[in-house]
Amino acid sequence: MALENKFSEVAENEFYSSAYAKFLSEKKLKGSKCKKCGHLSVPPKPICPKCQGSDMELVEMKGKGKLAAYTVITVGAPLMIEEGFDREHPYCSGVVELEEGVKVTARVLGMDTTKPDQIKIGTPVTAEYVEAMHGGEKKTFLAFRAL
């Protein structure tokens, strides 16, 4: 019984964003799957956005998909400027549709951001885990790289 309690406590915590960040640092992309309706969410959510069910399980994504939408950002958030992105070095933010059928927003690498019109919707991409220093702290970010 004690073990069971411990397990459910861990399982519940897994849905919080700090846990998602930890999975990323382990180079794992995880989402939540609703046991009631099968809806997938990445990052994981404690409540199903489709049916409001709360019986969720974690599932690991393969990290493969295709570019569904993108924007090239020349004036980035302060965190991005800290990483060296600016008007001359724009970055690409995209929506990737994973093989599992769920869409996830992330930075897209390996695109020529100075020629945004050459970036093609449907480009196959694979998940990449980028480590960057933000505010003196090492963090892992999800990105996708064009194959």
Q: Which residues bind to Zn ion, rule: CB under 5 A?
A: 34, 36-37, 39, 48, 50-51, 53
Minimum CB distance to Zn ion, residue 39 (Å): 4
Minimum CB distance to Zn ion, residue 42 (Å): 15
Task: CB nearer to Zn ion: give 14 or 83.
Answer: 14
Distance CA 85, CA 83 (A): 6
Task: CB nearer to Zn ion: give 37 or 81.
Answer: 37
Minimum CB distance to Zn ion, residue 134 (Å): 33
Task: CB nearer to Zn ion: give 34 or 142.
Answer: 34
Minimum CB distance to Zn ion, residue 69 (Å): 24
Distance CA 120, CA 124 (A): 10
Edge-to-edge strand list for the sheet holding 56-60:
40-41, 30-34, 56-60
Tokens of 69: 């939408």
Distance CA 50, CA 7 (A): 26
Q: In this structure, are residues 129 and 24 in contact, taking their beta carbons and an 8 Å threshold?
A: yes
Task: CB nearer to Zn ion: give 33 or 107.
Answer: 33
